Structure 1
Amino acid sequence: MLASTRSATRAGTRALLRASRTGRVNVPARTFITIVEQGFEAWRLTLGSEPVKLEPGLRLAVPFVHKVQQIDMRERSVNIRDLAGFTKDNVPVVISGSLFFRVENSYHACFSVDNFEENVANIGTSAMRSVIGHFSYDEVIGDRNKINSKLYDVIGTSISRWGVACTRFEVQNFKPSNRDVEKQLELQMAAERDRRKKILDTQALVNVAEGHKQRVILESEAALQGQLNESAGQKRRLVLESEGRLEAAKNEGEALARQVDILARALGADPQAAPPSAARTAALGALLELRRLDQLQAIARGDGNATYFFGDAKGTGRDPYEVDNVELWKNSLRTQLGAPAPPGSSAPAPAPA
C-alpha cells in the first residue's frame, strides 16, 4: 500500500514537471514546512479530512498528503462602488460604501462557505440595495448614520453563520443617477426651502407679537407693583410718623409732668412730701409763663423782624410793679431749682431777717 502511494506520488510529480516545462502550470516547491503568519489561523487536512488547527509559527505539512488553508483573522474591508438603486420616494440614485468585517471563527470560514470574502461582498451589495429602499432621499442626505446602523444589523445577521462578523458599514458617496433627476431634486429642494422660509418668517412674526404682548403685560404688572409698593411705603411712613409724634407727645407730657412735680415740690413746705394741688397749679402757671416769655424772646431775636409793638409794661398788660414782682419770683424760683439766671436780669433781694 505504501509502495503504491509512493509510486503514484512520483508519477504525479513527473506529470507536473512536464506541464511546467510546457509553461501551462506553475508548480510550487515541495516542502515539509509551512509558515503560519501572525494574525492568521490555518487548518490542515490530511488527505481531505481530519482538519487540524495550526497556530502562527512553523508547522509540518507533507506535500500531496496535507492541504493547508490559511485564514486572515484581521479586520478587512470590501468596497462596493457605484451601486444603482431606488430610494423610498422612487428617486434613482448611485451609492458607494465600504463594508468592514473580521473572521471570528476560522473553522466555519473554511468549511461552512466557499470563498467567504466573495460571499461577504455579495451580501453587502444585496443588503445595500435593499436597505436604501427603506429611506427617502432627504433621510439619506440628512442622516447617514441611521443607514449605516441598519446595514450593520442586516449584514451582520446574514454572515454570522459563516464565522464572520460585520464590524461596521460606511456609506461614502450618494448622488442621483443622472442630471435630470438631480435638477428636479434641486427644484424640489428650492421649493421646500422657500416653504420653510415662509413658515419661519411667520413664526418669527408671531414670536415678535408674543414678545410685545409679554412686554406690555410685564410693564403694566411692574407699574402696578410699583404703585402698590409706593402706597405701602407711604402708609408705612405715615404710620411711623404718627407713632413718632405719639411717642414725642408722651415724652413731652411726661417731661412737663416731671417739671410740674419738681416745681410743686420746691414750692411746698416739705420737698419730700407729695405737693398739694395749689402748688401744682402754681407750678404749671409758672412753666406756661416761662414758655410764653421764651417765645417772645425768640421772636425778638429773629432776623426778619424790624419793628416791634408792645403794650404797657412790656406787652404783658400788667402794671410795672406786678411785672417786677413776677421777674423777682421767677429768679427766686430758678435759684431754688439751681438753674442759672438769664443775662441782664437782676438778682433777687435777700429775704429780711
Structure 2
Amino acid sequence: MTVMTNPSAQRGSAAEAPGDGLFAALDLGTNNCRLLIARRREEPGISPGSTQTGIDVVDAFSRIVRLGEGLVATGALSEEAQERTLSALAVCAAKIRRHRPRALRVVATEACRRASNGQAFLARVAQEIGLEMETIDPAEEALLALAGCAALLRPHKPYAVVFDIGGGSTELIWLEQRPGQAPIVHAWTSMPLGVVNLAEAEEPDLPTPKAYERMRARVEQFLDGFTASPTIQAAVARGDVQMLGASGTVTTLAGIHLDLPRYDRSKVDGITLNFSDLAAVSLKVRTMEEEVRHAHPCIGRARSDLVVAGCAILDALCARWPVGSLRIADRGVREGILLGLMGVPAPTLVNEGSYS
C-alpha cells in the first residue's frame, strides 16, 4: 500500500502545514473519478456503550469520465478517455493542494489493470497532474469496498453477501460476522463484468430485451463459478444471510424508487429495498424511452446506457441469492481507504484465493 503524507509537497511549498486532521482518498475506476477529503469522527457502535470510527466529509468530487470506454474492443485506453480523466484529476489535485491533508492515497482499478497502456497513463498522470497513483489488485479492491460499507451490515444476521458493481468489474464477497471482530471474508471473486464493458458489448442492441437477457446470462455464468455458492444457499435457506450492495447502479435505482427530484445521498445511503421493489424499478428503467432515461434526475445522459447493464448484473445476483431485501450503500472504496488511513482494522481475508 502506498500512503503519501504532506501531498502539498508535490506542487507548492513542502513547508506548508498539512490540513488539521484531514485525510484524502481518490478512486479512479473504469467509469468514475471520485475524491473524498474527510476528518475522523467517533460515533456510537453497534453494541451498547461502544464506539466506531466514522467519517466527516470536508470536500468531495465525482465525475463520470468513462476511462475504460472502448477498452474491450482495443485493449487500450483511448486518447479521448485519457483527456477526460486528466481533466477530472486536475480538479482533484487542486482540491488536495488546497486542503493539504495529512495523508493521501490515490488508487486506480480495473481499467488501468487491464489496459495495455494503463501504466503509461498513470505515468502521464504523475507528470502532468502531479498525482502518484497505484494500481490495486482485485482482492484489495474488494476488501476496500467492504471496509467502506461494513458499518451498514446488520448485526443480527451472521452472514452477508456484499457486492460492488463497477465499470469494468464486479466485486463479490461472502463474509461472516462475529461479535467484536472485523468481518471475516470466507470467499470473494472479481467478475470481469461491469456496467461499461457489458453495455459496450451489446451496442447498438441495448436496451432490447434480448440484449438484456444476454447480459444477465453472462453474469450468471460467472456466478456459477463462485464455489462458495452451496454454502451461501444453505445459509440463505436458514434465513441467516443479508445482502449489501454498493455502486452507482443500486443508488440510482434507490433514487428512482424514492421518486427523488434530484439524487440525495442522505436519503439513499443505508436504506433497504425489497427485491420486489428492485425488480419493479429495474423493469421501469430498462423499458424507459432513451430520452426519458437521459432526462431523469437520478440517471442522466452519461449514465443512461450503463444503468441498464447494471440492472442485468443486479437481477442476476438477486436471483442467485434470494434473501428478499438489499441494503443500499452510497459508499465503498474511497471510504475504505479513508478508514485505513485513520487506522481502522481492515476485514480479515480467510481464504487467499479468488473464486471465479
Instruction: Verify same fold: TM over 0.5.
Output: no
The TM-score with structure 2 as length reference comes to 0.19
Q: Which has the higher contact order (CA 8 A, sep 6+)?
A: 2
More strand by share: 2
More helix by share: 1
The TM-score with structure 1 as length reference comes to 0.19
